[in-house]
Amino acid sequence: MGQVLVTGAAGFIGAHVCQALLARGEQVIGLDNFNSYYDPALKEARLAALTGNNRPGAFTMHRLDLASTDDLLALFAANPGIDRVAHLGAQAGVRWSLEAPFAYTSTNVTGHLGILEGVRRSEGRIGHTVYASTSSVYGSRTDGAFRETDRTDTPASLYAATKKAGEVMSSTYADLYNLRLTGLRFFTVYGPWGRPDMAYWLFTDAILKGRPIRLFNEGRMQRDFTYIDDIVAGILAALDNPPVQGGHRVYNIGNSQPEPLLDMVSILEDLIGMPARRELLPMQPGDVPSTFADISAIQGDFGWEPTTDLKTGLGHFVRWWKAYFG
């Protein structure tokens, strides 16, 4: 068995994927730049949880920026045992892309291209690369389930545009260089160790501290909330089942049950035992009113099914949040 390179290994999804790979006996090489988009202390805590409970030598971490192309390619060259890549590192967040656009092109375009080049230069040693895309590529839609065959050429944010660029580059590289690549369009991932910029985290924090929660579009939003354990199971299923040589596939990976945002607020109020103070605001630029994953492709190819309902998943998150913050 070779090694798996996981980018974004100190991030929310990346850390969970590293833990799952280590639990099944894999050798994992992690990469993360520990940037300050949100408090790096949370990333350090995820890393400590990873390194504190695993066999010696099974996991190594490299503090490296994806956009530092020379350093990234040197990492590939210095680790010829890498035979699979889970490329989960990215600059996330729709709203911040309005304020810091070059951070998104640097990581999500230049950094993604660096991963593709590293895989190409491995001369066939790397048998499969799975990378993170996003449901945001579908743009502003309210007309039912999003299917992989739908048009995705009108994204509503720069973040979405950079992730779509990653899909297009991946398709090109698979064809040009005979690579095996799989993209996963994540739908609103949530759970323990999550990202502090996400609504469920912000709402939990605000309710517990007596601050108002900010409801954009006056709360008239729907999201296909997908629990982290289900996402990890889908990533591993994809990683273990590469396409044909020279193949590039894209899958939705979501709960396929969009929930009104206000229902999530009500569940959090019940779990926390406190009412939320609600501040109704207009729609934010770049945001979308609804997301809804058609998951028939990933179900059919891998037998993957989400198993965690929103109340159960939020219950896990609230218990983790209280334990983490005391």
Tens of pLDDT, residues 10-36: 999 999 999 999 999 999 999 999 999
Query: What are the CA-CA distances from residue 263 to residues 8, 56, 246, 310 (Å)?
Result: 31, 44, 44, 10
DSSP code per residue over 208-262: HHTPEEEEGGGG--EE--EEHHHHHHHHHHHHTS--STT-EEEEEES-S--EEHH
Tens of pLDDT, residues 245-265: 999 999 999 999 999 999 999
pTM of the model: 0.96
Supply the pLDDT for residue 194: 97
Give the pair of three-digit tokens for residue 64: 């490296």
Q: Is 309 exposed, middle or buried (0-12, 13-18, 19+ CB in 10 A)?
A: middle
Would the pLDDT of 114 be above 90?
yes
Q: Three-class SS of residue 7?
A: strand
Fold of the domain built from segment(s) 3-191+226-255+293-308: Rossmann fold (3.40.50)
159 carries an active-site annotation: yes
Would the pLDDT of 53 be above 70?
no
Residue tagged 């469920």 (tokens): 200
Closest CA to 314 of 274, 277, 264: 264
Which residues pair with residue 249 across a beta bridge?
A: 182
Domain limits of the chain?
3-191+226-255+293-308
Residues above pLDDT 90, as percent of the chain: 85
Cβ-contact 149, 92 below 8 angstroms: no
Where is pLDDT greater, at 135 or 140? 135
Q: Of 159, 190, 200, 227, which residue is the catalytic one?
A: 159
Would the pLDDT of 326 be above 90?
no
Supply the pLDDT for residue 215: 87
